[in-house]
Amino acid sequence: MHAGMVHALREIHRVLKPNGTLIDLRPNEGNRPIEVLLSYATLRAGEIESSTDATDKRAANHAMQQAVTDGLFKLEYDETFDYIADLDTVEDLRNYGKSLKQNILSEATVAQVEALTSDETDDFSIRIRRSMMIARYRKSPL
Amino acid sequence: MAMRMDTAKLEQRYLLDMLDVQDNRILEIGCGEGRMTRLYAEDARHVVGIDVVLDELKQALETRPQHLTNTVDFMTGSAIVMPFASASFDHVVFAWSL
DSSP string, A61-124: HHHHHHHHHTTSEEEEEEEEEEEEEEESSHHHHHHHHHH-SS-B--HHHHHHHHHHHTT--S-E
Please work out, in degrees rounded to the nearest 5, the angle formed at the alpha carbon of residue A127 by the alpha carbons of B57 and A46: 110
Distance from CA of A118 to the nearest CA of B (A): 18
Per the document, the length of chain B is 98
Chain B residues near residue A59 by CB distance under 8 angstroms? none
The confidence band for A122, taking pLDDT boundaries of 50, 70 and 90, is low
User: Does an H or E element contain B28, and which?
Assistant: strand B25-29
Model pLDDT, residue A100: 86
Contact B78 A8 (CB under 8 A): yes
Contact A96 B3 (CB under 8 A): yes
The tally of domains found in chain A comes to 1
**Nearest by CB: B14 against A26, A79, A92:** A79
Pairing of strands B89-95, B25-29: parallel
- Establish if A41 touches chain B: CB-CB under 8 angstroms: no
CA dihedral A9, A11, A12, A16 (to 10 degrees): 140
**Nearest-Cα residue of chain A relative to residue B96:** A26
Task: Give the tens place of pLDDT for each residue, A47-102.
Answer: 998 877 888 889 999 999 999 999 999 999 999 999 999 999 999 999 999 888 87
**Using CA atoms, how far apart are residues A13 and B86, in angstroms rounded to an integer?**
9
pLDDT per residue of chain B (98 residues) written in tens, 0 to 9: 588 999 999 999 999 999 999 999 999 999 999 999 988 899 999 999 999 999 999 999 999 999 999 999 999 999 998 999 999 999 999 988 77
Residue A78 belongs to domain spanning: 2-139
Per the document, the length of chain A is 142
Q: Look up the ipTM and state it.
A: 0.93
Tell me the residue type at A121: T
Mean pLDDT over all residues of chain A?
Answer: 92
Output DSSP code: residue B67: G
The confidence band for A20, taking pLDDT boundaries of 50, 70 and 90, is very high
**Nearest by CB: A25 against B6, B82, B94:** B94
Q: Which fold has domain B22-94?
A: Rossmann fold (3.40.50)
Domain locations in chain B as residue ranges: 22-94
pTM reported for the whole predicted model: 0.89
**Using CA atoms, how far apart are residues A68 and A62, in angstroms rounded to an integer?**
10
Rounded to 5 degrees, φ, ψ at A97 are: -60, -40
Model pLDDT, residue A90: 92
**Nearest by CB: A23 against B4, B78, B94:** B94
**Nearest-Cα residue of chain A relative to residue B28:** A23
**From the centroid of its chain, how far is CA A75?**
20
